Structure 1
Amino acid sequence: MKITEQQLIRAIYSTWDFQQALSALTFLLEDCDFDRNYDKVSLRRFRCYESTLIVSMARPFETTRRGTTIGLRALGITLSQEEKKLVARILELRRKIVAHSDEEEMYFRSTSFPVLDGKGNFPHFQFNEGLHLEQHELHRLETLLRSLKAKLAEFFFRVAQEQPELLEKYREPDSIAKSE
């Protein structure tokens, strides 16, 4: 097994990212009845779960400032074509909608209406409050996240058996180390 220090650290962080994504997904699936209508506040709560799911799941697959990604192949992990499509969908949602506001992907309606006895107009904005992912996609994501977590656990178990010294680490952000 040959893996770089950066790949190992990225894999360690990815275990946390996938757990965060799975937690957000679990909260969403527990709280949301897809056959029910909800008020805007509830829909926004569900969107918060979904956004956390998308950002956390995408993070390992995005290139860091240091130029690394999770590098599944280096970890001995392969994805099916279906799983690759699902990851691509998550990355597209993250890049165009969740982490950035791509104007081509924005839904809104803006209007104004008269107020103060017709002496002025009040602006009014409406946004799409629904989820970006459908229920069947969420269930497929749950399966994928559980699979990724299990495969990472297998990888780290092998590392712990073959090269346990690689896992003897303590890491803190550079900003904390510099402030001391």
Structure 2
Amino acid sequence: MKITEQQLIRAIYSVWDFQQALSALTFLLEGCDFNESYSKVDLRRFRCYESTLIVSMARPFETTRGGTTIGLRALGISLSKDQKDLVERILDLRRKIIAHSSEEEMHFRASTFTILDDEYNLPHFQFNEGLHLNEQELLKLELFLRELRQKMATFFFKVAQEQPEMIQKYKEPESFKVEKNGIA
């Protein structure tokens, strides 16, 4: 097994990202009945869960400023075509809608209505409050995340047996070190 220190650190942090994604997905699936109608407030709560799911799941697959991604191949993990398509769908949502506002993906209605005997025009905006992923996609994501976490656990168990010194580390951000030392 050949894995660099940088790849290992990225994989360790990816475990946390996938746990966050799975938690957000669990909250969404527990709270949302896809056969019900919901208020805008409830729809926005579901959208918050979905956004966290998408950002957290996509993070390991995006290139960091340091130039790394999760590198599943280095972990001995391969994805099926369906799983690769699912990851691409999540990455596309993250890039175009969730983390950035692509004009081609914007969805809203803007209008005006008059008040006080047609003296004033007030703007009115309506936005798509629905989810970007349907129930079937969310259920596929749940299975995928659970499978991926299991495969990663198998990888880390193997590393812990063969090279335990690689796992024994404490990493903190530089900004935390500065604050902790009283400089900030």
Amino acid at match of 1:123: P
The superposition leaves residues 150-175 of structure 1 with CA deviations (integer Å, 9 ceiling, x where unpaired) of: 01100100000000000111111111
1:92 partnered with 2:92: yes
Count the aligned residue pairs: 180
Partner secondary structure for residue 47 of structure 2: helix
* Structure 1 residue 28 corresponds to structure 2 residue 35: no
CA distance in 1, matches of 2:162, 2:7: 17
TM-score (norm 2): 0.96
Q: Equivalent residue of 1:45, what SS?
A: helix
Q: Segments of 4+ in structure 1 off by > 4 A? A: none
Q: Does 1:170 align with 2:170?
A: yes
Q: Quote how far apart the aligned CAs of 1:178 are.
A: 2.2
Query: What CA deviation, in whole Å up to 9, does each residue of 1:73-126 have, x standing for no partner?
Result: 000000000000000000000000000000000100000111233221111000
SS of the equivalent of 2:67 reads coil
Gaps of 5+ in 1: none
Asked whether 1:121 is paired with 2:117, we answer no
**Letter of the 1:119 counterpart:** E
CA distance in 2, matches of 1:115, 1:22: 47
Task: Provide the rounded CA distance (Å) in 2 between the counterparts of 1:85 and 1:74.
Answer: 20
Mapped partners of 2:78, 2:129: distance in 1? 35
Unaligned runs of 5+ in 2: none
Cα distance per residue 1:27-60 (max 9 Å; x no partner)? 1001000001111000000000000000000000
Identity %: 72
Q: RMSD value over aligned CA atoms?
A: 0.7
Counterpart amino acid of 1:31? G
SS of 1:113's partner is strand
Distance 1:55 1:41 in 2: 21
Secondary structure at the counterpart of residue 131 of structure 2: coil
